[in-house]
Amino acid sequence: MYGLEDYEGIRPTISSEGLQNEGLSEAQKEYLQEVIPEPEEWLNMTYEEKLDSVNMMEMRLDEMQFTTDAMPQEYYEFVSDIKQLEQFKNIDCVENCISTSDSFYTSGRAETFMEGNLETREQLAQEFFEEIKASLGLDPDIPLRFCAMDSLGGYNPETKSITLNESYLEHPDPRGTLKTIVHESEHAFQQQVVENPQLYPEIAPAAIAEWKYNMEHYKSAQVYGMEIYRNQPIEKDAFAFESYVFSQVDKLKNLRD
């Protein structure tokens, strides 16, 4: 059972005031700011739209004959966001899972989870799992069960099922439950890719081979320790996947609050 913050070359300026220090006039700053999206707009863009946006910013700077060192803080944050997104082999699925996870909060289900009993919480978790399966394009027959277990949860590649520790349902905050569902669902996605590589031409054969080898030589935390466990390819991908999805969800929540 299968139980990036810094980027080389990115050196953000302290604030958009750095534009003035580079000698840009007010008119030039306004010209550049015209193509810098608002935070909420950025978070709701697709990957392709984000790339287009950054390219447009850089085009404006080229027109003014300045280097990217003159860019405001937002530019570096946007580039960092793109670099994080590019680490995944299924960018469309990442975007779908962000939308699905954010909807759990905007729809009021998070509050219902907090106020509900164990049965209500399990029902909401099951509904969320169904949506995540659709977001990842997973087999709809993959089940999710809650039961007493020694670990927090896991995906069983033999039975193609996900099991979560029932103690999750005792916590009123649904975040841990949602993150673990996303994490384990990504493992199901990995297996689906390995078993059906012809359906995923956008994923490099070398990456699929790496996942396949790792699945055949999986290293559990109990035997090999936490560091080796977390740094093997399929776990590194799943942890990064859940972390990125919920970092974006948190940003959207903060904008609304």
DSSP calls for 8-57:
TT----SSTTHHHHTT--HHHHHHHHTTS--HHHHHTS-HHHHHHHHHHH
Residue 1's pLDDT is: 55
Contact predicate 42/190, CB 8 Å: no
One digit per residue, the tens of pLDDT, for the chain of length 257 reads: 544 233 333 333 334 444 444 567 788 888 888 999 999 999 999 999 999 999 999 999 888 888 777 788 888 999 999 999 999 988 999 999 999 999 999 999 999 999 999 999 999 999 999 999 999 999 999 999 999 888 788 999 999 999 999 999 999 999 999 999 999 999 999 999 999 999 999 999 999 999 999 999 999 998 999 999 999 999 999 999 999 999 999 999 999 88
Residue 22's pLDDT is: 54
Residue 237's pLDDT is: 96
- Name every residue whose Cβ is closer than 8 Å to that of residue 142 and which is 6 or more positions away in sequence: 133, 160, 161, 162, 188
Q: Name the nearest CA neighbour of 130 among 172, 170, 162, 158.
A: 162
Residue 72's pLDDT is: 81
Its pTM stands at 0.85
Residue 115's pLDDT is: 97
Say if residue 33 is exposed, middle or buried (CB neighbours under 10 Å; 0-12, 13-18, 19+): middle
Alpha carbons 204 and 172: distance in angstroms, whole number: 41
Q: Name the nearest CA neighbour of 27 among 64, 66, 82.
A: 64
CA angle 142, 89, 72 (to 5 degrees): 125
Alpha carbons 178 and 225: distance in angstroms, whole number: 25
Residue 23's pLDDT is: 61
Say if residue 3 is exposed, middle or buried (CB neighbours under 10 Å; 0-12, 13-18, 19+): buried
